[in-house]
Structure 1
Amino acid sequence: MKRYLQSLVLFLFCHAVVQAQALLPAAVNTDPAKALVVLPEPANPALPSLILIGHSTVRNGHDDGQGKGPAGQWGWGNPIANYFDTSKINVVNRAVGGLSSRTYVTSGHWQRTLALVKKGDVVLMQFGHNDASAINDTSRARGTIRGTGNETEEIDNLLTKQRETVHSYGWYLTDYIAQIRAKGATPVVVSLIPRKRWSEDGKVRRNAGDYAGWAKEVAQREKAGFIDLNELAARRYDEMGRDEVMKLFPLVTPDESVHTNWAGADLNARIVVGGIRALGLQTLVGALNERGKAIPANEDERPVVDAAAVKAEQAANSALPTLHLVGDSTVKSGGAGGHVGWGERIAPYFDAGKANVVNHAIGGRSSRTFYTEGRWQRVLDQLKAGDVVAIQFGHNDGGRIGDPAMKGRASGPGTGPETVEDRKPDGTVEQVHTFGWYMARYVQDAKAKGATVVVLSPVPHRDAWQDRRDFENFAQWGREVAQRHGAQFVDLTMVITEGYRRAGAGVVDTYFSDARTHTNDAGAAFNAQRVVAALRSLPGGVVDKWLSAQGRQVEGVKH
């Protein structure tokens, strides 16, 4: 009887504890020092582990989407597991919502997580959103000192009632890196995801000037792996357009600007996988499943080709009409790095006895720099009545004007007359126009010469054609310019996308020579055929009379 009563008391106590935890008010659960979360542990300790630490944009709440399915709030640490073979690696998401780089330590979560880290593991850390909070208050007390220095602040923590030494954001990241390495594991710093906010220039706001930049600084200083999720995701957002970006966040909470829904979390997860591939982390790369292997490594550099190394092309027979091609490296790469542009494989579709094909494109240029470098004037010098000019820009027009990473190529968003000042290192100031302004100038100048102009939207990226459209903004702006100024328009993005979808992912993946942008010879040939098909579909048979026997075999695009 005594043993029965003891068992009954123990049962009632445990039941009361469980009920009390279930009934705790939200205000208690959001206190980082009292966070009631059950975090996963490695399913198979014999396997290496990918361990994730961070806050709610990595693991949101109870990691269940608040019971709302894909429409709820999700962190990218959940869908990233779908890209790994769990028979080869554990994916362990130990992030906790509401925490900062500081409170992940002071709440005890880091100590418990570090106990699971072993030699051969990889630990990805993403903090920043919550580090900007107050250093000391009665709500969260989770802020860190801005920057990456060694300065400290002594506080009597109003929340924990403890004396505490608070360090900088960079100090905490550095400490994580050191402790991970002491365990024989590999640390990787991931910059925070961008918020759903836009700057005055229409681009998604980056954090290169604060937490994303500080994360990169620490990673470089400590020679740790770094994935710039902030910049890479923002770049994708810019390419997708505002309407499509809105779909990556919970529609039931339109004011939500930080936490993504499942679609947004999956996009971020794929970017992180691309970062893992770019870093060459073999423990992780070797554990990718077929879905993971299909994600290309992130491409961080889009080089500007040295103009002196590119020979200007001229029409072979000036008495004949000419098809002039204007664009970037996706139109002409010259074979560097195995890259070939579609403009380099289009000539066989035209009869050299009826028309010239002249490829003026050059790698690394945007609608802005092709104009400011005087390249467009050189095209005009060759242009004559009866010629056709096909113009494709967009790949290098994105990004923030004035950001050194954009290498002076970014144009303004839209098609309006507004300008943005770009102050150069030498003190000169350039008035940068919108993408549409430059494209309109090309159309007007060419038409004044008696030429026909075809505006093309950009060829799609390697990772952006299967389940969504790429370059929505640039296609819209290109169409507006063409309609407004009397040019023809081809949505080349979708013409090629539809071709890719018919070919299938296994085939399309063999068409690229790098992570995202440039095609190899086979890809260039495929795209060139699609360009010819698109040109054949234009009203008035713009180029039909110039086609070779091979060109006449290509059917126009069905609309």
Structure 2
Amino acid sequence: MTPTLTRRATAALLLALPLLQAQAQEFTATTDPARAQVTLPEPARPELPSLILIGDSTVRNGRDDGQGKGGEGQWGWGNPIAAYLDQTKINVVNRAVGGLSSRTYRTSGHWDRTKPFIKKGDWVVMQFGHNDASPVNDNSRARGVLRGTGPEKEDIDNQLTGKRETVYTYGAYLRGYIADIRAAGATPVVASPVIRKRWEADGVKVTRAGGNFAAWAAEVARQENVAFIDLNEWGALRYEALGKAEVEKLFPADAPQETVHTNWLGAAVNSQLVIAGLIQNKVLPDAVYLRRFAPDGSDDRPVVDARKVRVEAPRDPKLPSLVMIGDSTVRSGGQNGAWGWGERLAPFFDTQKVNIVNNAIGGRSSRTFFTEGRWASVLEQLKAGDTLLIQFGHNDGARIGDPAGKNRGSVPGIGPETVEDTLPDGSKQQVQSFGWYLARYIDDAKARGAKVVVLSPIPHKDRWQAGQPRDFETYAAWGEQVARAHGAQFIDLTLLVTEAYRSAGAEKVDALFADARTHTNEAGAVFNAARVVDGLKRLPGQPLQPFLKAATP
């Protein structure tokens, strides 16, 4: 459940992911004195198929450690991509080396060291180009290639190595890798260089690489009939959707002039694009993906049909009910090991005194829970004495009018403004604001005699550490304003969970998630359910205190 990228939700992008753990091989580089030694990973489990990455620093930066600066250091996309793939089924082996070109990755011996790890059934993604425009021959790095994809070549006396060398075109080097990969029985994949942070004069459009390395990479992929991932065009579209101010947050804060090397968030954005390209080209088996992305960053999985998900009824209609509505962070049903906090709330309550009724449904926003008729079904069961808990926000940021948003986005804010959206069947729908939908739920429930509590969304895995901007700031503010204006109560669940995560520490928090950043596992669901109970206990009048168990589970 990943909202389409918007200017309001940059940090809803992605996460601090676990670092790739692998065995290592050390060697001494011979073509660049600035690189004395590099450590590259080997397949952790040789019996598994491997996704092997080769390229430059935009794939693997330096020693792949962020220069000791954490998320604000420089990172290549080859590190965060590992968290989106099931490493019990596939090795992710990032053997890219910073500072190299399609030429020097081969001539410095790195390719010869990598080839022994490539076996039948593997996949190899290559991404070169950022360093290929350098001088062909100098005494610094001598890493440039001839421009184009043709058969041209040039013999040189390499000033750096002191050796005679034949230099080929960019396309010729890519074709050489493709041939070697196929000879090993593996599948080659070509990616264009990642987009640079360069804006047109209007400050709105991003400058594409144009008719050079990005176009040449696409041309070679087409000629060789291999999968192609357009990180140039897709990256530009993502940046344009964000806008200049938000894109700056994807690059190291201490290097404002940096246009190529991203921080952790930027690397995660690029890794999402690579995942989208692998999916679009049907490169890897579906079973290896832990997260799936479309090119715009949204989850490419279809949203489950709400008509096929039954509306849960109270166990004992004579008892008051605690009813929940929301998205998959409230109810995930164990899909891919994910559980929502609402599914682990019952043990905190005396169910002989109160029904616990979880009618949240995955993939929903405040808008779609209403427009699909789910709310009407839930409302029929509400009665005087019941309490309704509402938590939306994770899917409301989808762009209205963008098919990738799956018609889930609501209008930002709490006002009366509407925006027209076109549905898949061609019909038009007037989309209301996030606050409008919350107010409708509150007013409808109160008319049935129920009490209402609005909760802000649980935070993402990457948005709780000290010094970071708080997660879901706008949605929390809107939720509180609407609750107060319409006679409901409010719990800032985002902050309650954030504070608890900070107390628990990074190692424990990492162990609470079933995926890269959004959905908790069973332990995480229990952890967050306890935070919900903490919030309920703090409400004025403690309306649910009579139903809570004396001892915490």
Normalised-by-shorter TM-score class: 0.5 to 0.7
User: 2 CA distance for matches of 1:387 and 1:363?
Assistant: 23
Aligned to 2:97: 93
RMSD (Å) for aligned C-alpha atoms: 6.0
What's 2:115 paired with? 118
1:507-518 to 2 correspondences below 5 Å: 507-518=508-519
Q: Secondary structure at the match of 1:93?
A: coil
> What is the CA–CA distance in structure 2 between the aligned matches of 1:204 and 1:529, rounded to whole Å?
46
- 1:162-204: CA deviations, max 9, x gaps? xx9999xxx9988864564446666455577678899xxxx99
Task: Quote the residue 2:76 is aligned against.
Answer: 76
* Deviation at residue 428 of structure 1 after TM alignment: 1.3
Secondary structure of the structure 2 residue equivalent to 1:536: helix
Q: State the Cα distance separating 1:327 from its structure 2 match.
A: 0.9
Deviation at 1:372, TM superposition (A): 0.7
1:371 CA drift (Å): 0.9
Please tell me whether the aligned partners of residues 81 and 275 of structure 2 are also in contact (alpha carbons under 8 angstroms). Answer: no
Shift of 1:508: 4.1
Aligned AA (2:117): G
| TM-score normalised over the length of structure 2 | 0.60
Q: Percent same amino acid at aligned positions?
A: 49
One-letter amino acid of the structure 1 residue matched with residue 544 of structure 2: V
Give, in angstroms, the shift of residue 390 of structure 1: 1.0
| Residue matched to 1:157 | none
Separation in structure 2 between the aligned mates of residue 64 and residue 314 of structure 1, nearest angstrom: 51
Residue 494 of structure 2 is aligned to residue 493 of structure 1: yes
Q: What residue identity is the alignment partner of 1:390? A: L
Contact 1:323 1:355 in 2 (8 A): yes
Distance 1:111 1:128, change over 3 A: closer
Alignment of 1:443 with 2:442, yes or no, is yes
* C-alpha contact 1:235 1:398 (8 A) present in aligned 2: no
Q: What SS does structure 2 have at the residue aligned with 1:495?
A: helix
One-letter identity of the residue aligned with 1:533: D
TM alignment of 1:444-483, pairs within 5 A: 444-462=443-461, 464-465=463-464, 468=468, 469-483=470-484
What residue number does 2:8 align with? none
Unaligned runs of at least 5 residues, structure 1: 1-35, 97-103, 132-141, 146-151, 154-163, 286-295, 555-559
Q: Which residue pairs with 2:303 in the alignment?
A: 304
For residue 428 of structure 2, what is the aligned residue in structure 1?
A: 429
Query: Structure 1: how far apart are the matches of 2:198 and 2:432?
Result: 22
User: Which residue does the alignment assign to 1:359?
Assistant: 358
- 2:329 matched residue in structure 1: 330
The code of the aligned residue for 1:359 comes to N
Give the AA of the match of 2:354.
A
Letter in structure 2 aligned against 1:93:
V
Contact 2:60 2:95 in 1 (8 A): no
The offset of 1:403, in angstroms, is 3.7
For structure 2, the 5+ residue unaligned runs are 1-30, 45-51, 133-144, 151-167, 209-213, 294-298
TM-superposed CA distance for 1:373, in Å, is 0.5
SS at match of 1:459: coil
Q: Deviations over 1:428-454 (max 9, x none)?
A: 122333433322332343344443322
AA partner of residue 329 (structure 2) = T
Higher relative contact order (CA 8 A, sep 6+): 2
- Give 1:380 shift: 2.5
Matches within 5 A, 1:41-440: 43=38, 52-53=54-55, 74=74, 76=76, 91-94=95-98, 112=107, 118-120=115-117, 124-126=125-127, 177=178, 180-182=181-183, 187-188=188-189, 246-249=248-251, 251=253, 258-259=259-260, 262-264=263-265, 267=268, 297-300=290-293, 301=299, 304-440=303-439
Query: How many angstroms apart in 2 are the aligned matches of 1:462 and 1:43?
Result: 31
Q: How far is 1:536 from its partner?
A: 1.1
- The answer as to whether partners of 1:462 and 1:509 remain within 8 angstroms in 2 is yes
Q: Using a 3 Å threshold, how does the CA distance of structure 1 residues 337 and 248 change in structure 2: closer, same or farther?
A: closer
CA contact under 8 A between 1:417 and 1:437: conserved in structure 2?
yes
Instruction: Select between 414-423 and 172-181 the one with higher mean Cα deviation.
Output: 172-181
The Cα offsets for residues 262-319 of structure 1, whole Å up to 9 and x where unpaired, read as: 45456558869999999999xxx9xxxxxxxxxx954545553343443222234445
Amino acid in the other structure paired with 1:535: L
Instruction: Provide the C-alpha distance between the structure 2 equivalents of 1:39 and 1:183, rounded to a whole number of angstroms.
Output: 32
> In 2 relative to 1, CA 166–474 (structure 1 residues): closer, same or farther, beyond 3 Å?
same
Q: What secondary structure, in the 3-state scheme, does the structure 2 residue paired with 1:532 have?
A: helix
| Larger displacement relative to structure 2 (38-47 or 500-509) | 38-47
SS of alignment partner, residue 549 of structure 1: coil
In the TM superposition, residue 365 of structure 1 has moved relative to its aligned partner by 1.6
Distance 1:37 1:361, change over 3 A: same
| 2:460–2:471 Cα contact (<8 Å) kept | yes
Give the partner amino acid of 2:495: M
Residue 522 (structure 2) pairs with residue 521 (structure 1)? yes
Amino acid at match of 1:458: P
Count of residues in Structure 1 that have an aligned counterpart in Structure 2: 452
Conserved 8 A contact 1:392-1:457: yes
Q: Does the CA contact (< 8 Å) of 1:277 and 1:297 recur in 2?
A: no
TM-score (structure 1 length as normaliser): 0.60
Which digits, 9 at most, give the CA deviation of each residue in 1:195-222, with x for residues without a partner? Answer: 8899xxxx999x9xxx89x98xx79x96
User: How far off is 1:532 after superposition?
Assistant: 1.0
What is the CA–CA distance in structure 1 between the aligned matches of 2:459 and 2:473, rounded to whole Å? 10
Greater share of helix: 1
Q: Shift of residue 333 of structure 1? A: 2.8
For the 8 Å contact 2:331–2:340, the answer to whether it is kept is: yes
Find the counterpart in structure 1 of residue 135 from structure 2.
Answer: none
With over 3 angstroms needed to count, the CA separation of the structure-2 counterparts of 1:73 and 1:460, relative to structure 1, is closer
Could you tell me whether the CA contact under 8 Å between 1:53 and 1:123 is conserved in 2? Answer: no
Distance in 2 between residues matched to 1:477 and 1:128, nearest whole Å: 45
Q: Which has the larger radius of gyration?
A: 1
